[in-house]
């Protein structure tokens, strides 16, 4: 650090600064040799600063639907955790718990498809005159893929479900732009709201959904589990209605209708994407 007529050279970026903080990078300009207790003090200070910011963000996320999105749109970004960081942290906690608690996740039942293919294959073995509407070569090809899975990994249904379960974080992250696209279509008349703005809303909603769905991963009795699913479904729907009303200024009736359309569209597209992914896994064997 050097002084020249009141001007200080920032030790971090080399910018000429005046005062206690560099206007270029924000670092303190008057730094002294750090002591051990000084390191501890800084650690505690930074921890409680982040902790305070975290709980302030979670309070807004849980109890003020749409508030974080509106704050980000209005460039009020220092008081809250950034949307992507918030989503990554909460979704990571959710999926780590999900994978640790669920020993055999079952997301899609592939038995129906497999049994149908086996029936066709058995019929073809008995008579060469049997034809299939979807094409016998395709069915034989898929049947051979299922058999390869069974040879390499055991039960194909368990293998596919576990593969999808381990890749759900990627699938749900992909669903964020999908939700943003649906929101763009629902609010297409809002000329001042861009795709990235809808993506911010989608990030905050997914963060909320994962945060309240964490408890579903615990091994509660089936009756309690069913109630948790029902409560999560109702709360997430109510939250979306309020978030649309607060963030987009949608009237209550329009918010309810948009929530219904968004929910149905999202569920259908999620199912299609999961099946496509499963098909790609089968084809890659």
Residue 159 or 84, more confident: 84
Does 198 score more than 60 pLDDT?
Answer: yes
Alpha helix (H) ranges present in the chain? 36-63, 67-73, 83-101, 111-126, 136-153, 156-166, 168-186, 195-213, 222-248, 252-284
pLDDT of residue 165: 79
Q: What is the pLDDT of residues 162-193, one digit of tens each?
A: 788 788 889 999 999 999 999 999 999 998 99
Using the 8-state DSSP alphabet, how is residue 71 labeled? H
pLDDT of residue 5: 46
User: Tokens 């963030």 label which residue?
Assistant: 247
Average pLDDT, the chain: 80
pLDDT of residue 237: 96
Q: What is the mean pLDDT of residues 202-231?
A: 89
Q: What is the pLDDT of residues 72-94, one digit of tens each?
A: 999 998 889 999 999 999 999 99
67 backbone dihedrals φ, ψ, rounded to 5°: -65, -45
Q: Are 29 and 22 in contact (CB under 8 A)?
A: yes
Q: What is the pLDDT of residues 31-73, one digit of tens each?
A: 666 666 666 666 556 555 556 788 899 999 999 999 999 999 9
User: 104 falls in which pLDDT band (50, 70, 90)?
Assistant: very low
User: Tokens 């497999």 label which residue?
Assistant: 114
Q: What is the C-alpha to C-alpha distance for residues 256 and 276, in angstroms, rounded to an integer?
A: 30
Neighbours of 85 (CB within 10 A): 13
pLDDT of residue 115: 52
Residue 113 or 193, more confident: 193
- What are 69's two structure tokens? 């999105």
Q: What is the C-alpha to C-alpha distance for residues 208 and 65, in angstroms, rounded to an integer?
A: 9
- What are 35's two structure tokens? 């002591």
Q: What is the C-alpha to C-alpha distance for residues 72 and 192, in angstroms, rounded to an integer?
A: 15
User: 127 falls in which pLDDT band (50, 70, 90)?
Assistant: very low
Q: Are 264 and 150 in contact (CB under 8 A)?
A: no
Q: What Rg, from alpha-carbon coordinates, does the chain have?
A: 27
Q: Are 105 and 162 in contact (CB under 8 A)?
A: yes
Q: What is the pTM of this model?
A: 0.72
Does 140 score more than 90 pLDDT?
Answer: no
Q: What is the C-alpha to C-alpha distance for residues 160 and 274, in angstroms, rounded to an integer?
A: 10
């Amino acid at each position: 650090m050097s002084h020249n007529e009141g001007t200080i050279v920032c030790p971090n970026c080399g910018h000429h600064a005046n005062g206690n903080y560099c206007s270029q990078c924000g670092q303190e300009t008057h730094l002294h040799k750090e002591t051990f207790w000084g390191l501890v003090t800084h650690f505690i200070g930074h921890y409680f600063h982040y902790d305070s910011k975290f709980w302030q963000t979670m309070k807004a996320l849980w109890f003020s639907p749409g508030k974080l999105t509106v704050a980000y749109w209005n460039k009020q970004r220092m008081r809250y955790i950034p949307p992507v960081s918030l989503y990554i942290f909460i979704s990571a906690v959710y999926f780590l718990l999900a994978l640790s608690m669920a020993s055999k996740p079952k997301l899609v039942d592939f038995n129906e498809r497999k049994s149908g293919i086996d029936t066709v294959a058995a019929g073809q073995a008995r008579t060469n005159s049997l034809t299939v509407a979807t094409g016998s070569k395709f069915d034989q090809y898929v049947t051979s893929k299922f058999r390869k899975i069974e040879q390499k990994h055991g039960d194909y249904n368990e293998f596919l479900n576990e593969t999808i379960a381990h890749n759900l974080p990627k699938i749900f992250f992909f669903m964020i732009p999908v939700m943003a696209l649906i929101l763009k279509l629902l609010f297409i008349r809002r000329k001042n709201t861009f795709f990235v703005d809808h993506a911010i809303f989608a990030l905050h909603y997914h963060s909320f959904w994962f945060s309240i769905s964490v408890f579903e991963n615990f091994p509660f009795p089936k009756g309690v589990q069913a109630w948790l699913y029902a409560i999560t479904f109702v709360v997430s729907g109510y939250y979306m209605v309020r978030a649309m009303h607060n963030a987009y200024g949608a009237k209550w009736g329009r918010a309810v209708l948009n929530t219904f359309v968004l929910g149905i569209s999202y569920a259908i597209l999620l199912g299609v994407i999961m099946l496509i992914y499963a098909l790609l896994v089968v084809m890659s064997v």
